[in-house]
Amino acid sequence: MKRAILATAGTNLGGASAHNRRVVFDALRLNGALSRAEIARATQLTPQTVSNIIDQFVHDGLVAADEPLRGARGQPATPYRIEPGGAWSIGIEIDRHRVLGVGVDLAGTTLSRRHCRLPAGGPKRGLDIVLQVIADIRRDLKETVGRAKGAPLLGLGIAMPGPFGLNDDVAPDDPLLDPWVMREWHSFPLMDCLTDATGLEARLQNDASAAAIAEKMYGVARSLDNFVYLFLGYGLGAGIVIQGEIYAGMGGNAGEIGQLPAMPLGPHGPQRSLEEFVSILSLCRAAGLDPASPDLFDEMHALTEKGDKRLWAWAEQAGRHLRQAVQIVEALFDPQTVVLGGQVPKKLLAEIARHIEPLLPSVSARPLRKRPRLALGTADLWAVAEGAAMEPIARTFDPQFRAIFKTVE
């Protein structure tokens, strides 16, 4: 039996080259069209290295050249930009009562959307529905954008609510807020089944992490490397981004903030979890909505537009509980900002944020800071599915230290 040896992975020229390609692509994603000289200055790579990478990107159809720009002196500079049709990706959200799927291009533009109700019974009844959604999206992409030209389909991102890998014998006090409600899906070899059935590499993450990826690549956190995304879904989770990468934890359960104790309602009240007050399920209970309704988002939106007092009361309570959660997150991670987003109407999300203020004192309350401690992110039903679709793109092109350490394909 070989002795286990503790060590940090080294790198070689292949690892460094993979990282440099990601750095160049990321510069184009963040800034739009750039010349080779601008990329070299911004990334501190040599002009020759940048030229080699750009030439390969152009050859692969990932980057396209715009018309040269003539400056005051010298040869005209050719700007290069990401070619949206250079690659495609599919993202799937599997939640308690629904399957949402999207197909996106390399620029993150959604080109196909599919929404199906998910019956109870776990994968035995739901797997065929997921596979049909994927097949429909692939057909949509071929029909609408002509994927037949050969641009690759990068992969399949899957997002589900956690927590993952916990004890099935744990019985919740409140079945409506059961955090283990997806355990049949969690214990099923879903990624292997999807990869075998579709020919696409499938990877799983929790819903909050998926939404955080979308926010990082194309949302309010686009230029941030360190932030925490508080995600309001059926439950409450947090996507944690550290040095530009999602931190998932040992079992993929980092960010299960909804299971933290909520502020006590009184000196002798029972201890309850945060997501019993801050979640779509708690909103449904407060407003008399059916959480299994296929039109739930539209129903929330209609009540929000009517100014339903039950929603405003719920939003006030949710904001007060989140105030402490923001303070905890800031104490633990000292992020550039905390982003609040989720699958609720934008006006309702803004109302919650209004009641989080004033923020409690924390290490983030620096007198010279320029960025707000709390930022409003995406408020949309499709946030998780779109974030799941970003995962194969981020996996392939986003700068990651794992690329240097030879652990990223």
User: pLDDT tens across 305-347, in order?
Assistant: 999 999 999 999 999 999 999 999 999 999 999 999 999 999 9
The Cα 8–Cα 19 span in angstroms is 17
Domain 86-210+386-404 matching CATH 3.90.650.10: the answer reads: no
Question: According to the CATH classification, is domain 13-67+77-82 in 3.90.850.10?
Answer: no
User: 25-31: which pairs have CB atoms within 8 A and are 24 or more residues apart?
Assistant: 25/57, 25/62, 25/63, 25/82, 25/397, 26/397, 26/398, 26/399, 28/63, 28/80, 28/81, 28/82, 29/82, 29/217, 29/397, 30/222, 30/223
- Give the separation between CA 346 and CA 132, rounded to whole angstroms: 31
- Distance between CA atoms of residues 371 and 327, nearest Å: 16
Predicted local confidence at residue 13, as pLDDT: 52
Q: Are 378 and 218 in contact (CB under 8 A)?
A: no
> Regarding predicted confidence, which is higher, 33 or 5?
33
Single-letter residue type at 109: T
pLDDT at 18 over 90: no
**Given this model, what pLDDT does residue 3 score?**
55
CA nearest to 208, candidates 171, 255, 149, 172: 255
Task: Specify the residue for token string 């939106």.
Answer: 301
% of the chain at pLDDT higher than 70:
85
**Given this model, what pLDDT does residue 17 score?**
78
3-state DSSP call for residue 143? helix
13-67+77-82 and 86-210+386-404 in the same fold? no
Q: Where are the domains of the chain?
A: 13-67+77-82, 86-210+386-404, 223-379
Q: Note the pLDDT tens digit of each residue in 183-241.
A: 889 889 999 999 999 999 999 999 999 999 989 888 899 889 899 999 999 999 999 99
Give the separation between CA 47 and CA 283, rounded to whole angstroms: 55
Residue 255 φ then ψ, to 5°: 95, 10
**pLDDT bracket for residue 399 (50, 70, 90):** low
Q: Which residue has the higher pLDDT, 371 or 174?
A: 371
Burial of 405 (0-12, 13-18, 19+ CB in 10 A): middle
Output the CATH code of domain 223-379.
Answer: 3.30.420.40
Lookup: tokens for 390: 């970003």
Q: What is the mean pLDDT of the chain?
A: 86
